[in-house]
Amino acid sequence: MTSVKFKTTGELDISPSATSSNKDFDFLVGEWNIHNKKLKSRLSNSNEWIEFDATHEMRKVLTDIGNVENIHTTIEGEAYEGMAIRLFTRQPNYGVYIGRITIWEQWKSRWLVLLIKI
């Protein structure tokens, strides 16, 4: 089991595993039909679960140093879309799958632009 470490500044001390690589999530590449469940009410001692199906697609990007995954589903008649972006770096203090990302949001056009320095 991994122990949690903190820096003297109080920040979480994150360091990559010696075996980490840009291939750690390759098992997810492709298109998948998945079955999920989630608590109906979070943080309220609920034990009632909602089950739902979803489609999942993951592809590698940026010359295989990252990947993008998209999930589409409908829960109780409402459509949802989820997205994850992972970037691999061994640079200390940036974590294993967190790169240097500058995020600029333009709410009027609903575009999210990621400027990535590699």
Q: Splitting the chain (118 residues) into consecutive groups of 10 residues, what average pLDDT does each group show? A: 78 75 89 92 88 94 87 88 79 44 41 47
Q: Cβ contacts of residue 114 below 8 Å, gap of 6+?
A: 85, 101, 102, 103
Looking at the DSSP assignment, which residues form a beta bridge with residue 91?
none
Query: Checking DSSP bridges between strand 101-106 and strand 66-75, what pairing results, if any?
Result: unpaired
Among candidates 81, 82, 88, which has minimal Cα distance to 67? 88
pLDDT for the residue 116: 46
Looking at the DSSP assignment, which residues form a beta bridge with residue 50?
38
pLDDT for the residue 100: 40
Chain CA centroid to CA 110, Å: 20
pLDDT for the residue 31: 98
pLDDT for the residue 87: 78
Residue 76's CB: how many other CB atoms inside 10 A?
7
**E strand residue ranges, the chain:** 30-39, 49-61, 66-75, 78-87, 101-106, 111-116
Distance CA(70)–CA(100), nearest Å, equals 21
pLDDT for the residue 12: 77
